[in-house]
Chain A
Amino acid sequence: MLGPQSSLVMYDEEYQRILLLLERLLRESNSKVIFLVDKNGQLIAATGETANLDTTSLASLTAGNIAATGGLAKLIGEKEFSILFHEGEKDNIHISIIGGRVILVVIFDQRSSLGLVRLRVKKASNELAIVFEDLVSRTEREAISSSTPSPFAEITDDDIDNLFN
């Protein structure tokens, strides 16, 4: 499992696998938008009607939400609440935790239902968890092998200064 302290690294192959799973979940659950967020608030992937959505803000607030309810859980002696559901007038949000570190968010309206979303999320979660396990072992392999040097090994002070110009 991905520890809370390790950097998350995403590679092309796993990213494509994740996107495929999210797209399938979107179809099978009849939902509007799906995204995956790191527990630290960083957006990993999104699919569906994202054009008019501020996904960066959504990602940060989702992580804050999970962190706050996780804090609540601890206070009452639970490990964490692994599913959150927010019901709106039109749109609803279903939030669940995958493999301890990644947050899956499904936004849906009356074209779907909580029952359907729950069911499909459960199946997709297991498959997503496998991809994230592969990602961890891959990251470990890449870290050991010197054949793929980090692209950041040669960052210079000038590179950094240029960011702020």
Chain B
Amino acid sequence: MSFINYASREINCKIVYYGPGLCGKTTNLQYIYQKTAEESKGKMISLATETERTLFFDFLPLALGEIRGFKTRFHLYTVPGQVFYDASRKLILKGVDGVVFVADSQEERFDANIESLENLKDNLEEQGFDLEKLPFVIQYNKRDLPNVSSVEELSNLLNPRKVPELEGCAMSGEGVFETLKAVAKLVLNDLKKGG
């Protein structure tokens, strides 16, 4: 949950990028890191295997600016996507303020998306969270590839509640900041309601 510090006048929020293995979560964070001014970002930490698959998490701290005199910091995390890293995924969801689900638009990843979304719901429930009540946005990634499902099809399947949804190509950066902004907006609006 968010950390509001009246002493240093800071708000800290935790955002987790979730999704099936290789959907582009780490790529989202890398793009944000590359495009963020030096003074607004901390070090990006990737706990990865030798083949660059996320082992535990990626972490990117961002200090975007001030709201009402409070420095607003977002801590972005990704989870490891592979099925067998479920224990790690649960840990990273602790204290989450907002979730981005990165879907892999490729047809052959259709089932993997569903499985990962179900897994997200289960793991949140275990922590006492309800996905329906949490700031939540969906990014349909890899729109540049030829073998993708239509956004309509993906949306019907993954987004019955019609939370904010965005098309993305994390490799070129398309939709990446739009996605971050969408989830940040929901998180800050939650804060406004005193959540």
Contacts and interface: CB of A to CB of B under 8 A. Distances in A.
A152 B68 CA distance: 7
Interface string A130-165: 000000000000010000001111110101111110
B140 interface: no
Interface residues of B, number: 48
A64 B88 CA distance: 9
Main SS class of interface, B: mixed
Contact of A7 (B1, B45, B47, B188): B1
A153 B3 contact: no
B185 interface: yes
Contact of B70 (A44, A56, A151): A151
B64 A11 contact: no
Given A10-B6, A60-B61, A163-B72, A155 B12 contact: no
A164 B178 CA distance: 10
B93 to A, nearest CB: 10
Q: Chain A, interface size: which category?
A: 35 or more
A72 B22 CA distance: 26
Contact of B3 (A7, A56, A150): A7
Interface in A1-21: 4-12, 14-16
Contact of A57 (B1, B43, B184): B43
A104 to B, nearest CB: 16
Given A5-B128, A8-B1, A38-B95, 5 more contacts: A5-B129, A64-B47, A152-B68, A160-B181, A163-B184
